């Protein structure tokens, strides 16, 4: 196998990695906000259910959650899954896992805002929704960007766990190439490492630019 062919195969795997990354963020970032709202709501059963969900997601391995989501519908409920369930299960498992982490990050950001902000909004006649949307949320976003960036970078590396249910992302593709006859061997893993590093560098750069763009809000 030539180096050019190896890079082409890794690029195919990278597209899968990129899709897992993109759809996970697309689902988990807003879901984490919803989970955080449920965790702090006044309805006690909903609040406790949310706390249990967060505890389970943070207290069990993502690899196990992937297997439960993929095999669970058929083994537990006897439900036949569609042919594309393998890819869907990866997204579902990643979204519900990362939403729990993002919810706790959001909670930390909101709780760091002083009580005076709420009192000032009340004096100005803002409703609860207006206070949250116009005063609390903008400040929270600015404060949680550094920990969110850390989680996003972790997500890039965690995409390799998709291989546990047979999804061929970039790291799995690298392993397949490395054991193939006449393959470049360790050079394949080195190339995969470069892919991951560049991807993480781009993610960190974009998040840093977003953080600087919000510097006007202090």
pLDDT tens-place string over residues 69-121: 999 998 888 888 888 899 999 999 999 999 999 999 999 988 888 888 778 88
156 sits in which H/E element: helix 137-158
pLDDT in tens, 149-166: 999 999 999 999 999 998
Quote the CA–CA distance of 81 and 71 in Å, as a whole number.
Answer: 9
Instruction: Name the nearest CA neighbour of 109 among 144, 138, 134.
Output: 144
Q: What is the pLDDT of residue 131?
A: 82
Is 206 or 123 the better-scoring residue by pLDDT?
Answer: 206
Residue 87 lies in a domain: yes
CA proximity to 15, closest of 189, 206, 159: 159
| Coil, strand or helix at 23 | helix
Given a contact cutoff of 8 angstroms between Cβ atoms, the answer to whether 118 and 139 are in contact is no
Q: What is the DSSP code string of 197-210?
A: HHHHHHHHHHHHHH
- Domain containing residue 161: CATH number: 1.10.3720.10
Residue 19 has pLDDT above 60, yes or no: yes
For residue 135, what are the domain limits? Answer: 3-213
Counted domains in the chain? 1
Q: Is the Cα dihedral 93, 166, 155, 65 positive or negative?
A: positive
Q: How far lies 170's CA from each of 71, 84, 157, 183, 189, in Å? A: 23, 19, 10, 16, 10
Q: What pTM value is reported for the model? A: 0.90
Residue 16: the pLDDT is 94
- What pLDDT score was predicted for residue 57? 96
- Identify whether 32 is part of a domain: yes
The alpha helices in the chain, defined as continuous H runs, are 3-39, 44-59, 62-75, 85-111, 115-123, 128-131, 137-158, 170-179, 186-213
pLDDT at 216: 58
Q: How far apart are CA 96 and CA 57, in angstroms?
A: 8
The residue with greater pLDDT, 86 or 2, is: 86
Mean pLDDT for the stretch of residues 132-139: 81
Residues 29-68: tens digit of each pLDDT: 999 999 998 998 888 899 999 999 999 999 999 999 999 9
Let me know: does 161 contact 63? Beta carbons within 8 Å.
yes
Of the spans 4-18, 25-39, 174-188, which averages the highest pLDDT?
25-39
Task: Give the lowest-confidence range in 5-19, 92-106, 181-195, 199-213.
Answer: 181-195
Structure tokens at 189: 């893993």
Asked if 195 and 170 count as a contact pair (C-beta separation under 8 A), the reply is: yes
Does 7 fall in a domain?
A: yes
pLDDT of residue 77: 83
Half-sphere exposure of 22 (CA within 13 A, CB side): 6
- Evaluate whether 186 touches 107 at the Cβ level (below 8 Å): no
147: in domain: yes
Tokens of 38: 């449920």
For residue 218, being part of any structural domain is answered with no
Confidence category of residue 18, pLDDT binned at 50, 70, 90:
very high
């Amino acid at each position: 196998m030539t180096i050019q062919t190896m890079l082409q195969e890794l690029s195919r795997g990278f597209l899968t990695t990129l899709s897992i990354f993109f759809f996970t963020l697309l689902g988990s970032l807003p879901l984490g906000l919803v989970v955080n709202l449920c965790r702090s709501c006044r309805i006690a059963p909903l609040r406790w259910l949310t706390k249990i969900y967060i505890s389970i997601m943070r207290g069990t391995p993502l690899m196990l959650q992937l297997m439960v989501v993929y095999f669970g519908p058929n083994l537990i409920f006897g439900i036949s899954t569609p042919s594309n369930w393998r890819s869907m299960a990866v997204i579902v498992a990643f979204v519900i896992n990362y939403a729990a982490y993002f919810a706790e990050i959001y909670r930390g950001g909101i709780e760091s805002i002083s009580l005076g902000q709420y009192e000032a909004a009340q004096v100005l006649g803002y409703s609860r929704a207006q206070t949250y949307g116009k005063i609390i949320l903008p400040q929270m976003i600015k404060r949680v960007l550094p920990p969110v960036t850390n989680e996003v970078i972790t997500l890039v590396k965690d995409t390799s766990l998709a291989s546990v249910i047979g999804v061929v992302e970039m790291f799995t593709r690298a392993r397949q190439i490395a054991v193939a006859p006449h393959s470049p061997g360790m050079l394949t893993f080195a190339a995969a490492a470069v892919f991951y590093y560049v991807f993480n560098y781009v993610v960190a750069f974009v998040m840093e630019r977003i953080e600087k763009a919000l510097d006007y809000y202090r």
